[in-house]
Amino acid sequence: MNQQASQPRRVGLFVTCLVDLFRPSVGFASVKLIEEAGYAVDVPMAQTCCGQPAYNSGDRSDAIAIARKTIETFEDYDYIVAPSGSCAGMLRKHYPSLFKGGAWATRAEAFSGKVYELTSFLTEVAGMEGVKVAHAGSVTYHDSCSGLRELGIREQPRKLLASVSGLELREMPDADVCCGFGGTFCVKYPEISNRIVEEKSETIRATGAETLLAGDLGCLMNMAGKLQRQGSDIKVRHVAEVLAGMEDTPAIGRGKN
């Protein structure tokens, strides 16, 4: 085997805006998991937003400019992985639609074919069967809309969670129902968003689980905020933090555990 063939394949981690600004521990957990799966991980400093807010608001010119910058930054990696079904969905499903014909269309298609959400990458590409960490207590899992409906992310996180020693998964009814965040939706329609997350929080509390998990930080922050305002003591974490055994940081929305 030559030296080049023996080197691990390279993953470019797309950190996401929310992880970078509000929850860096999710990024560190993602790096740990990907490296444990046998891949070399880089976090390109030139990365920015995925462009989803502009795209969803009809600002096509800015969305295209952001997409070009992202493609230029990540296209040389073997894989592009994001700890977010929403951002991964934008990169994988919507970037190609921004370009029709020409070199950029070809580059966008090639780029999008290498994009994966974190748990999908770990199970489907890296072949990870489980993790060797422990979590003492019960959890429930929320299936975020974009990850579920655009990328089919449902069984992947549950497969990995099933291997966590001591963890009890309590499935909530309507786990696939929206939490009310929806990116710019919660800003444009705050009353509707609030009603949706109120109903979601009731479903979460009814499980009796001690911790709420999901794969999208926007959804988690939205649900954590509502639960905290309701006086709930349910902890809220990104699934990557539990899978990586990195639970020494405060739960989302809390100053201390």
Asked whether residue 227 is assigned to any structural domain, the reply reads yes
**What's the CATH code of the domain at 113?**
3.40.50
Same structural domain, 119 and 171: no
Asked whether residue 147 is assigned to any structural domain, the reply reads yes
Q: What is the pLDDT of residue 257?
A: 39
Same structural domain, 233 and 161: yes
Q: Which two tokens stand for residue 6?
A: 């023996």
Asked whether residue 15 is assigned to any structural domain, the reply reads yes
For residue 91, give its domain range. Answer: 7-123
DSSP state of 246: -
Q: What is the pLDDT of residue 256?
A: 45
Q: Domain boundary residue among 93, 123, 153?
A: 123
Q: What is the pLDDT of residue 219?
A: 93
Q: Count structural domains, the chain.
A: 2
Supply angle C-alpha 151, 149, 195, rounded to 5: 135
Number of neighbouring beta carbons within 10 Å of residue 71: 19
Asked whether residue 230 is assigned to any structural domain, the reply reads yes
Asked whether residue 157 is assigned to any structural domain, the reply reads yes
Same structural domain, 221 and 134: yes
d(CA 211, CA 234): 5
Same structural domain, 135 and 225: yes
Q: Domain boundary residue among 99, 123, 147?
A: 123
Whole-angstrom CA distances from 239 to 17, 27, 33, 124 are: 17, 12, 11, 17
Residue 249 and residue 25 in contact, taking contact as beta carbons nearer than 8 Å: yes
Same structural domain, 175 and 106: no
Same structural domain, 46 and 145: no
Amino acid, single-letter form, for residue 43: V
Asked whether residue 75 is assigned to any structural domain, the reply reads yes
Tell me the pLDDT of the chain (257 aa) as tens digits: 343 456 789 999 999 999 999 999 999 999 999 999 999 999 999 999 999 999 999 999 999 999 999 999 999 999 999 999 999 999 999 999 999 888 899 999 999 999 999 999 999 999 999 999 999 999 999 999 999 999 999 999 999 999 999 999 999 999 999 988 877 777 776 788 889 899 999 999 999 999 999 999 999 999 999 999 999 999 999 999 999 999 989 999 875 43
Same structural domain, 77 and 39: yes
Beta strands per DSSP E along the chain = 10-13, 40-42, 79-82, 115-117, 134-141, 165-169, 211-214, 235-238
Q: What is the pLDDT of residue 1?
A: 37
Asked whether residue 257 is assigned to any structural domain, the reply reads no
Q: Which two tokens stand for residue 34?
A: 């990907």
Number of neighbouring beta carbons within 10 Å of residue 145: 20
Q: Which two tokens stand for residue 77?
A: 């990696």
- Of the candidates 51, 123, 39, the residue with the CA atom closest to the CA atom of residue 91: 51
Residue 233 and residue 251 in contact, taking contact as beta carbons nearer than 8 Å: no
Residues paired with residue 165 on neighbouring β-strands, in sequence order: 134
Q: Domain boundary residue among 123, 147, 166?
A: 123
Whole-angstrom CA distances from 234 to 67, 194, 212, 242 are: 37, 19, 7, 15
Q: Which two tokens stand for residue 25?
A: 């521990």
